[in-house]
Structure 1
Amino acid sequence: MMLQTTAFAAARSRAHGPTAALWHAVELHRPPAEVDSACELTVCGSLARVTTEQPWPLQASDVCPACAALAR
């Protein structure tokens, strides 16, 4: 039997006009050292820069609600 676990990393998006920068979740398929500071597709479908310094899930007020729901 194979046990599969999903690992997520935190990623910060850019602010776009009236939209604030948010924290997003990125599903990791590579070692964290390979994705640090890279732009990746997030769980909700936006692009954001990955940071391995922040754990996911984040306890912050500026977290993407879609990522928070999908990356449980």
Structure 2
Amino acid sequence: MMSVTTVFAAARSRAHGPTAALWHAVEVHRPAAEVDGACELTVCGTLARVSPGEQWPVRATDVCPACVSLAR
């Protein structure tokens, strides 16, 4: 039996109009060095820049509620 572990990285979106920048989760299928600072599609469907210095889940108040729900 094979055990699969899903790894998530933290990513920060950009503020867009009246929408604030939020922290999102990105499902990672590559080594962390390959996604360092790259824009990736988040689990909720937003494009956000991966922040290699942050771990998911981030300890912040400005976190995407959809990513929190989907990245469990």
2:62 paired residue number: 62
> Hey, which bits of structure 1, 4+ residues long, moved more than 2 A?
none
Structure 2: 5+ residue runs without aligned partners?
none
Question: 1:22-44 deviations in whole A, cap 9, x for unaligned?
Answer: 00000001001100100000000
Question: What are the ranges of 5 or more consecutive residues in structure 1 without an aligned counterpart?
Answer: none
Identity %: 76
Paired positions, count: 72
Q: Normalising by structure 1, report the TM-score.
A: 0.98
Greater strand proportion:
2
CA-CA distance at 1:52 after TM superposition: 1.4
Task: Tell me whether 1:26 sits opposite 2:35 in the alignment.
Answer: no
Please list, as runs of the form range in 1=range in 2, the aligned pairs for 1:1-72 lying within 5 A after superposition: 1-72=1-72
